[in-house]
């Protein structure tokens, strides 16, 4: 086991949470974008909310068993972003007959971005980021104390 495993785990989580915050910021910035993509019919579609999937780097039972027995051949720890997916929730219909993208009845398809949900996700990502900085600083402090003992 390497003394830097804690650093590696915290660093991977910091990177993943930074990406989460970037995707959430993109969602908030496009909360009113009605012409984000063109569908297969050649019509514009509103922006679709995106989400980040995060998984452990190594999630097999065998790897956890080997780590518990200190026989691990793969010292990687932490998390990784597996993909960025689009939320399949339907778009919102808003009545605004003066909008340039309104249909014949006066309704406009708006993005499926809920600012309240995005703010909750942003707070969660921020707290996770802060927790990993705290863990990184604690690991650094322990290593510094270990070096002081060797003086």
Q: Tell me: the pLDDT tens digits for 78-114?
A: 889 999 999 999 999 999 999 999 999 999 999 999 9
More confident residue, 56 or 21: 21
Its pTM surpasses 0.85: no
Distance CA(12)–CA(17), nearest Å, equals 9
Q: What region does 127 belong to: left with phi over 0, alpha with psi -120 to 50, or beta?
A: alpha
Looking at residue 63, its pLDDT comes to 67
State percent of the chain over pLDDT 90.
64
Q: Residue 74 pLDDT more than 60?
A: no
What is the average per-residue pLDDT within 127-141? 94
Distance CA(137)–CA(141), nearest Å, equals 6
Nearest one of 47, 39, 23, 68 to 112, comparing CA atoms? 47
Q: Residue 25 pLDDT more than 70?
A: yes
Given pLDDT bands bounded at 50, 70 and 90, which one contains residue 71? low
């Amino acid at each position: 086991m390497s003394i830097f495993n804690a650093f590696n785990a915290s660093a991977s989580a910091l990177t993943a949470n930074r990406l989460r915050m970037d995707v959430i910021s993109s969602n908030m910035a496009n909360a009113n974008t009605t012409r984000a993509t063109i569908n297969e019919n050649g019509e514009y579609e509103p922006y679709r909310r995106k989400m980040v999937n995060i998984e452990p780097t190594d999630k097999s039972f065998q790897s956890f068993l080997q780590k518990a027995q200190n026989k691990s051949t793969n010292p990687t720890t932490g998390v990784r972003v597996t993909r960025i997916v689009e939320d399949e929730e339907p778009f919102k219909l808003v009545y605004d007959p003066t909008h340039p993208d309104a249909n014949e009845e006066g309704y406009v398809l708006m993005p499926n971005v809920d600012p309240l949900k995005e703010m909750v996700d942003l707070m969660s990502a921020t707290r996770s980021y802060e927790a990993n900085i705290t863990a990184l600083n604690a690991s650094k402090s322990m290593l510094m104390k270990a070096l002081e003992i060797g003086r």
